[in-house]
Amino acid sequence: MVDSQIRSYISRMPSFSKTITKVLQVCNRPDTSPLELNRVISLDPVLTGSLLKLVNSAYYSMGKGISSVPQAIILLGVNTVKNLALSTAIIGSFDSRSALCGLSQEDFWAHSLGVAVISRSLADLQGVSQEAREDYFVAGLLHDLGKIPLNHCCPVQYPLILEFSRRERISLAKAERDVLGIDHGAVGALIAEKWRLHRDLFDVLLHHHDPQRDDAANVPLLRIVALSNLLANLWQIGSTGEVLSDAPLAEWLRERLLLEPSRIAAIRERVLDDIDKARIFLQVTR
């Protein structure tokens, strides 16, 4: 019953606008030029405004006022523009439709943003290129999307699931499966299918609580987001209902990613500062 309600909810979610679809298509082409991308983005005043707010924010620290969309595209990079468009479309489709029963919206998005910033920082430690780090940021930002339809479709059960998870000291995903027969990872995968998201992002939404698998399309991305999620919980950055900190899994991930504990500890203060700066990304996408 719950499964059919969730599938019905997701099927009714709006498809991407023609502009967003075109932006994604253009960005995915290897020969894309800033001028071509500008022609598409300029058709959407909201996306244009979001892009200019982002490029002029403290998070990107360009140091000068940018009023030209082509210049913003050049400075941010095609990948950042693509991820801004994607996040705007996805997050915007939820906010006006759903309440988070038992969860604070502020805490939910604070945690999501924390995972995004930590993922980006760990990718930096791994030597990932600056442009590619934006994929880690967005995967971290969107990893828990599946909780939103669960909250919307199960407004009575979900607060009870949160309490069940706390009382029994089990993961929230297990509590969801025990009570509803489906967890937020599986719901996230349904969302990814709805919008035909890239397989890398599909795997993160589905498997961020099961990162020990080695058949993901992008294993480093999955494992970095999973570790970032655990660190955000450990550092108490926001909350999406998790009460357990899986220290053995965090250690396994750290070892597989070849990240020294001292290097992770060293980024904590910078991450907290970056989260404040990165709130602009959430503001412009919402």
User: 64-112: per-residue pLDDT in tens?
Assistant: 788 889 999 988 888 889 988 898 888 888 755 556 777 888 899 999 9
Integer angstrom CA distances of residue 119 from 22, 194, 229: 28, 25, 8
- DSSP state, residue 214: S
Predicted pLDDT at 62? 67
Answer for the pair 122, 68: CB distance below 8 angstroms, yes or no.
no
Integer angstrom CA distances of residue 52 from 59, 76, 262: 13, 10, 37
Predicted pLDDT at 99? 61
**How many CB atoms sit inside 10 A of residue 106's CB?**
11
Distance, CA of 134 to CA of 118 (rounded, Å): 12
Distance, CA of 159 to CA of 273 (rounded, Å): 32
Token digits for 98? 């759903």
pTM metric for this prediction: 0.91
- pLDDT tens, residue by residue, 191-210: 999 999 999 999 999 999 99
Predicted pLDDT at 128? 94
Predicted pLDDT at 1? 65
Answer for the pair 161, 176: CB distance below 8 angstroms, yes or no.
yes
- DSSP state, residue 213: -
Predicted pLDDT at 75? 87
Token digits for 8? 């019905």
Token digits for 108? 């939910």
Q: Which residues of the chain have pLDDT under 70?
A: 1, 61-63, 95-99, 286
Predicted pLDDT at 282? 79
Predicted pLDDT at 217? 92
Distance, CA of 105 to CA of 93 (rounded, Å): 15
Environment class of 33 (CB within 10 Å of its CB; exposed 0-12, middle 13-18, buried 19+): middle
